[in-house]
Amino acid sequence: MKALVYYGPRDIRYQDVPTPKPRAGEVLVHVRAVSICGSDLAGYKAVSSMRAPGLIMGHEFSGEIAQLGEGVTNLKVGDRVGVVTNLYCGKCQDCKEGRTNVCDYRYIIGTTMKAGSYNGAMSEYVVAPAGKIMPLPDNVSFDEAALVEPLSISLRATKHVANEILNRTVAVLGVGPIGLMAIMCMKSFGAAKIIAIDLLRNRLELARKCGATDAIVSNEDAPAIIRQMTNNVGIDVVFDAAGVPSTVNMAIEIARNAGSILMVGMASPALEIEYKHAVAKELKLQASYMYTTEMREGLQMIADGKLNVAQMITSRHTLSEGPKVFEELASGNTKEVKVILFPEQN
């Protein structure tokens, strides 16, 4: 089969590799759509340790069942499916207590974790455990299904503060894919006012389409604008989808006294924050990582028409175009938001 194989910094190659075979309890999925994640791009640029040379990336994907492994009886060849890509151990203390998202022994399809690498879906075929398969509703496209994984990250974060959102004012710092999906989720959870903040005007335009009521260019003294908008009260819940010093400290500045900050973005491995101000305002800092049950929940929300993730897709390309697409995204000179790749025969 054909696949995109990661060899090292800014070196990804479209080439022939052996087609994987499903073992007992597994299925072979014919990939129909795979989305490029920001973490894939970070791996490509060698600013992430979660992509080891030789890996086939791709953890946001959908497809059709092509082959069943021994013992799989609840699925059939041709089924349209999405895949829960967090392969946790199910035995450790975190897993037993429901924190499968932080299992130290997990694999994530298309990444390199402590447990090792697991080839992903930037290929014609990928193997996945049958228990991780999500049948797709007829009204959910392959492209939409490929975006369920990033959606689940925003959905989990939003659930952490669900009782603080209804009829309240929220702000989202950084409206890339995770931030845009956070806007959709917060709108679905009943936020009265959603303020999008970003440097890029094209993304702010898309943020409004996703449900933002207001948009602020972040270099235009956003804190002063927010003070005016909120009569000096501040924001009830701030969702930081970037995770860089400027956004974390802006979140602390614009949050109201006793407000909440959702810490989701991880662009900076370490940063200095205005800790004293956070304490003096009695802010609640809530970190949120990956997902537990949210992939299946997010898929149902798309099927029910509550979320329109398709509007985030800005282009589609064949796998063979992958090396060029990765390099264009890495250059930073692009207005892309979410890019879908697909095998040639699709």
DSSP helix, strand, coil percent of the chain (3-state; round to 5): 30, 30, 40
Q: Which CATH number fits domain 152-287: 3.40.1280.10, 3.40.50.720, 3.40.630.30, 3.40.50.2020?
A: 3.40.50.720
Structure tokens at 20: 């994987």
3-state SS assignment for residue 135: strand
Rounded Cα–Cα distance for residues 98 and 292 (Å): 8
Q: Which residues of 216-230 are buried (b: 16+ CB within 10 A; e: fewer)?
A: bebeeebeebbeebb
Residues spanned by CATH 3.90.180.10 within the chain?
Answer: 2-146+308-342
Residue 127 CB contacts under 8 Å (≥ 6 apart), including other chains: 20, 21, 22, 23, 26, 27, 28, 29, 119
Q: Which part of the chain has CATH 3.40.50.720?
A: 152-287
How far apart CA 171 and CA 16 sit, in angstroms, is 46
pTM of the shown model? 0.95
Least confident of 47-56, 118-127, 323-332: 47-56
Token pair 């690498």 in the structure block, residue? 117
Assigned superfamily of 2-146+308-342: Medium-chain alcohol dehydrogenases, catalytic domain (3.90.180.10)
Residue 128: strand pairing partners:
27
pLDDT for 235-291, tens place per residue?
999 999 999 999 999 999 999 999 999 999 988 878 888 889 999 999 999 999 999
Give the three-class secondary structure for 87. Answer: strand
Confidence of residue 346 (pLDDT cuts 50, 70, 90): low
162-186: pLDDT as tens digits = 999 999 999 999 999 999 999 999 9
